[in-house]
Chain A
């Protein structure tokens, strides 16, 4: 069966994911070492050890994301995070920085190494480089590839691949986008936060809700329209007399219908985005996707009604997987 890798921003969400049928849970420490460093989220050392023990009791694995890029001269913070994850019993660490990958290969050879989506490894040459030199066992593919490209990559590599199937969508090659730095000085790559809430202000302007980031208005929502989070790449801007989204219309990823194709493409694991979502959300999404991967494994059709419900009422996209670029 394909492995279902599920998000947990809190210990309660981790337990919810395990109970709902996650095969593996990914999470991180409450600091800049992980790419979802949001207020009130993530794990202390003690919470991680307890969470891992809980998951292991129920036959699930825990993958610890240490996937930001260490600041020069302060590598010790990231090295300590890896050592603490191993001591807590982590089944793998998810890494993005080449130097950190090398360090883990040398100092923690027994600790399974996954390559984060933040490393943006999108071709067989670079994936094989990480595998041969640093013993990387799995790579999380950037969300820019089609199913045909994933199939071709899998033919030429000897490591497992993991792909995102559901949740928020980062439209750039992850780990390479610095948009957030320009507006706030903080980026997912260095600080673990894209468009950080510390720089977000919502203002009611008459009937309109303006969402600002670092003083820039990123989006305005008319009365009754959905409230936007001012993520820079998803903003709606006016320039040269034209108002619109610069990159794409914001939509969230739902590749559930592509699970059979992804299985055929040789993908090992399916990843659900959403470490910032509630335990209620995690439980429902995980439950639905567990039913879907079981159906695919048994050669049954996807449980349509259930999965359709997931994206009802919101704009959903199959992302790059089945895309013809403009």
Chain B
């Protein structure tokens, strides 16, 4: 949890299987919607990126055969999915469970980086700014997705919580730290 690397759980194959097969374009559209909604509710995210607010970030979950390219914007953030890592200003790569744990405050970015669970390439400043902005925003992707699902949210939220319990992967915001 501190200077040393936490044990990052493996994202269960059953949970990633749909992601492997799903068509990329509609998934990109859905993620773009989630991202725009998140940024509208956390304007501090863009403010904190400062001069890096217009950079393109490749987020590469190394255990999935896809990479997210995120181009942040106060109102028109875009996420596009690629099968191969695309050109970007900064690339942040790591196991999906580690990336989600970072977003949800379960892990410390420095610790994951030093242990090489997390790889940063390209513009180091931009990658650090993104990491710090996300840490400050106290995001909860599980809650956002459940909220987006409208009436299905009531079913989805406990399902996400159960998946988190079984897998050990931080799918929602963790307050006391996980490891």
Which residues of A are at the interface with B, using a C-beta cutoff of 8 A? 9-13, 30, 38-41, 44, 196-198, 200-202, 204, 209, 221, 224-229, 252, 276-281, 283-285, 309-314, 316
Contacts and interface: CB of A to CB of B under 8 A. Distances in A.
A83 to B, nearest CB: 23
Contacts of A281: 1-2, 108, 110-111
A202 B124 contact: yes
Contacts of A38: 128, 132
A201 B124 contact: yes
Given A40-B133, A202-B124, 4 more contacts: A39-B126, A202-B119, A226-B115, A229-B114
Query: How many B residues are at the interface, by size bracket?
Result: 35 or more
A309 B132 CA distance: 25
B54 to A, nearest CB: 14
Interface core residue of B105, B107, B114, B124 (most chain A CB under 10 Å): B124
Given A11-B136, A281-B111, A39 B52 contact: yes
Contacts of A313: 3-5
B101 to A, nearest CB: 9
A309 B4 CA distance: 10
B2 A12 contact: no
A203 to B, nearest CB: 9
Nearest to B50: A39
B108 A277 contact: yes
A238 B131 CA distance: 33
B132 A280 contact: no
A241 to B, nearest CB: 29
Nearest to B49: A40
Contacts of B138: 12, 279
Nearest to B134: A40
Q: Which 9 A-B pairs have the closest CB atoms?
A: A313-B4, A40-B132, A314-B3, A40-B129, A10-B136, A39-B129, A281-B108, A200-B124, A197-B124
A10 B135 contact: yes
Contact of B125 (A10, A30, A39, A285): A39
Nearest to B126: A39
A186 to B, nearest CB: 12
Interface in B72-112: 102, 105-111
Nearest to A310: B2
Given A10-B136, A40-B130, A198 B125 contact: yes
Interface string B37-76: 0000000000111111000000000000000000000000
A278 B98 CA distance: 14
A284 B1 contact: yes
